[in-house]
Amino acid sequence: MDWKTIDADLACIDVRDSTYRITTARKIEPLAASIGVTGLLNAPLIAPSGRERYIVVAGFRRVEACRLLKMQRIAARCMHADTPPGRLAEIAVADNTGQRPLNLVESSRALRLLRHHIQDERRFGEVCRKLGLPMNPSMAAKVAGICQMADPIQEAVLKGVVTLTCALELDSLGRDTGATLATLFVDLHCSQSTQREILANLREISARDDIDVYGLLQDPRLQELITASDEDRNLRLQKVRNHFRTKRYPRLSLAEKQFLETTRTLSLGDNIRLQAPAGFESGEYLFKLRVSTMADMRACIGSLERTLENPSLKKILKQ
């Protein structure tokens, strides 16, 4: 047996040492309420760190919950002083994987902790397999890096807003840049496709104008759009997307603006819409009619006939 049960003084257990912390859960109150009713059913695992001092190997939340309940002493499983750190790491991971599936950040912490103590690839793969962690070396390396990323990126991953692929890309942009974008994606509830769109626009603008992405994110106009808390989130997101698109395609954005301004003067009515060619790359425009009766059709035809003499239409179409 690797441990013995002792009556531990809670004041002597250091939860600030997070060497073996895997869980990302933060709410202690529900657990404390449960312990207050049933008692501490599963004793935490601790290891000696000096004279009558201990660190937590498994059970950080249980120790914190007991402190919240103002308990003075608890039963704890104390590891032998000569237990190798690698063994402590495996036990810490096993305690967590045995309770629930780990999220990406928890898996990252587990992999990094194990990798620190296990250099042999075969041994590392065997331990990961037994503990239910990613075994593919490439995937394991990617996941292991998450827990070292900026906190906002980790938060975005935990909330399910940012995928592993996106997290890696954000991290590659630099700590401050990645954190800023992760915060933006969470705040505006950006879908994965919108995240890809924003990142693609930023990369293109940065390369073209020789401005780093972080500098682009500090644009006063962009900051004004992001912090407009009095506006609907969807509206803010659309304005942010338009901001980046305009920066990336200034000529196209200007053409679209001029087209919209011109079409407003055509007075086509509610049942007719003039659609511009994609990217304004051709001279072919499309009139779309919405009709349900012959009267609607006649009204649309009349509106189009009147529009033929409108100077604005002549600006749009070839003479």
pLDDT one-digit tens code per residue, 115-124: 999 999 899 9
pLDDT tens per residue across span 285-298: 888 999 999 998 99
Q: Is the pLDDT of residue 319 over 60?
A: no
In this predicted structure, what is the pLDDT of residue 262?
A: 79
Provide mean pLDDT across the span 85-112. Answer: 94
The answer on 212 and 141 residing in a single domain is no
pLDDT band at 267 (very low <50, low <70, confident <90, very high): confident
109-159 residue pLDDT tens: 999 999 999 999 899 999 999 998 977 888 989 999 999 999 999 999 999
Give residue-wise pLDDT tens across range 40-75. Answer: 999 999 999 988 899 999 999 999 999 999 999 999
pLDDT of residue 281: 64
- Evaluate whether 276 touches 308 at the Cβ level (below 8 Å): no
In this prediction, residue 252 carries a pLDDT of 64
**How many other β-carbons are positioned within 10 Å of the β-carbon of residue 45?**
22
Question: Is the predicted pLDDT of residue 312 greater than 80, yes or no?
Answer: yes
161 and 237 inside one domain: yes
In a domain, 143, yes or no: yes
90 in a structural domain: no
**Backbone dihedral angles phi then psi of residue 83, each to the nearest 5 degrees:** -65, 125
Q: Find out whether 73 and 63 touch, Cβ atoms under 8 Å.
A: no
Classify residue 9: in a domain, yes or no.
yes
In this structure, are 243 and 175 located in the same domain? yes
258 occurs within a structural domain: no
Residue 257 lies in a domain: no
* The predicted structure's pLDDT at residue 279: 64
pLDDT digits (tens, 9 = 90+) for 160-207: 999 999 999 999 999 999 999 999 999 999 999 999 999 999 999 999
Helix (H, G, I), strand (E, B) or coil at 222: helix
- Residue type, position 220, single letter: P
pLDDT band at 253, cuts 50/70/90? low
Among 112, 129, 148, residue at a domain's last position: 148
State mean pLDDT over 296-318. Answer: 85
pLDDT tens digits, 203-240: 999 999 999 999 999 999 999 998 887 788 899 999 99
Q: Is the pLDDT of residue 1 over 70?
A: no
Domain assignment present for residue 32? The answer is yes
- Mark whether 227 and 200 lie in a shared domain: yes
Q: 231 and 155, same structural domain?
A: yes
Do the beta carbons of residue 32 and residue 1 sit within 8 Å?
A: no
Where in the sequence is the domain holding 269, given as residue range(s)? 265-316
56 shares its domain with 139: no
Token digits of residue 70: 């103002």
CATH assignment of the domain containing 59: 3.90.1530.10
Domain match, 210 and 234 both: yes
pLDDT at residue 317, rounded to an integer: 80
Confirm whether 53 is domain-assigned.
yes
* Helix 104-117 vs helix 85-97: crossing angle, to nearest 10: 160
pLDDT of residue 306: 87
What does the pLDDT read at residue 254? Answer: 61
Residues 110 and 78 in one domain: no
Q: Do residues 158 and 188 make contact, with C-beta atoms less than 8 angstroms apart?
A: no
Helices then strands, each counted (H, E), the chain: 16, 7
* Domain identity same for 136 and 175: no
Is 254 inside any structural domain?
no
Q: Is the confidence at residue 257, as pLDDT, over 80?
A: no
Q: Please give the pLDDT value at position 318.
A: 67
Sign of CA dihedral 34, 36, 38, 41: positive
Average pLDDT over residues 252-272: 77
Question: CA 206 to CA 316: how far, in whole Å?
Answer: 33
Please report, as a single letter, which amino acid is at residue 244: F
- Reduce the DSSP state of residue 55 to 3 states and report it: strand
Domain count, the chain: 4
Per-residue tokens: 31: 């657990």
**73 and 130 together in one domain:** no
Does the predicted model carry a pTM greater than 0.85?
no
Clarify whether residues 166 and 235 are in a common domain: yes
- Three-class DSSP labels, 135-202: CCHHHHHHHHCHHHCCHHHHHHHHCCCCCHHHHHHHHHCCHHHHHHHHHHHHHCCCCHHHHHHHHHHH
